[in-house]
């Protein structure tokens, strides 16, 4: 339905399975990125025109500028499901996602990320989803630390 004040449409797309995800060929990606450099075009405009998230289009532009092929991975995906859960007062962790004990020393072999950890927001909970980014980031950091990749 259009917004009666602006006569514009709000659009939300929900992807419920891999089959519904749009697969862009490398040639299509290159053509779309090149479109963003044409006069009077903006990334936002081109993204809306093709039904692409603006951040995805910025990523394609950055990869092309770096000379990276848009054809090969590795590409990773995670399934994110809707929920209404978040915390701001969990266990304290260090920069490697290791849980800190009573004396602020890491507990050997114990890592935490996401809702189990103290919020990066300093004890505040600004809204739903605020724990998703830190959960993925610190999960990755913890895995690298456990594997010794940070050494």
Candidate from 11-20, 76-85, 139-148 with smallest mean pLDDT:
11-20
* Structure-block tokens of residue 26: 């490398």
Top-confidence residue, 25 or 16: 25
Mean pLDDT, the chain, whole residue set: 79
Domain ranges of the chain: 1-77, 98-147
Determine the straight-line distance between the first and last CA of the chain, rounded to whole angstroms. 55
The answer to whether the predicted template modeling score (pTM) of the entire model surpasses 0.85 is no
Sort strands 98-100 and 106-111 into parallel, antiparallel or unpaired. antiparallel
Asked if the bond preceding 126 is cis, omega within 30° of 0, the reply is no
Instruction: Give the number of other Cβ atoms within 10 Å of residue 135's Cβ.
Output: 16
Say if residue 128's pLDDT is above 90: no
Say if residue 85's pLDDT is above 70: no
Mean pLDDT of all residues in 1-13: 56
pLDDT tens-digit map of 42-52: 999 999 999 88
3-state secondary structure of 143: helix
* pLDDT at residue number 99: 93
Burial of 149 (0-12, 13-18, 19+ CB in 10 A): exposed
Top-confidence residue, 100 or 82: 100
* Structure-block tokens of residue 31: 């053509």
Say if residue 55's pLDDT is above 80: yes
Instruction: Give the number of other Cβ atoms within 10 Å of residue 117's Cβ.
Output: 22
* Matching residue, tokens 């092309």: 64
Say if residue 105's pLDDT is above 90: yes
Q: How far apart are CA 142 and CA 91, in angstroms?
A: 15
Contact criterion met (CB below 8 Å) for 83 and 77:
no
Helix axes 54-65, 43-50, angle to 10 degrees: 120
Strand ranges, E, within the chain: 98-100, 106-111
Mean pLDDT of all residues in 64-82: 70
Q: How far apart are CA 117 and CA 133, in angstroms?
A: 13
* pLDDT at residue number 84: 60
Q: In terms of CATH architecture, what is 1-77?
A: Orthogonal Bundle (1.10)
């Amino acid at each position: 339905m259009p917004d009666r004040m602006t006569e514009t449409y709000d659009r939300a797309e929900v992807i419920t399975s891999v089959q519904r995800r749009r697969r862009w060929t490398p040639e299509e990606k290159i053509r779309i990125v090149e479109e963003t450099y044409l006069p009077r075009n903006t990334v936002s405009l081109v993204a809306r025109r093709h039904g692409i998230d603006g951040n995805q289009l910025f990523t394609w532009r950055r990869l092309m500028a770096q000379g990276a092929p848009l054809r090969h991975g590795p590409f990773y995906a995670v399934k994110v499901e809707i929920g209404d859960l978040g915390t701001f007062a969990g266990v304290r962790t260090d920069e490697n996602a290791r849980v800190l004990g009573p004396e602020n020393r890491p507990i050997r072999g114990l890592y935490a990320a996401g809702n189990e950890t103290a919020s990066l927001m300093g004890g505040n909970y600004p809204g739903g989803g605020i724990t998703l980014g830190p959960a993925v980031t610190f999960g990755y950091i913890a895995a690298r630390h456990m594997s010794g990749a940070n050494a």
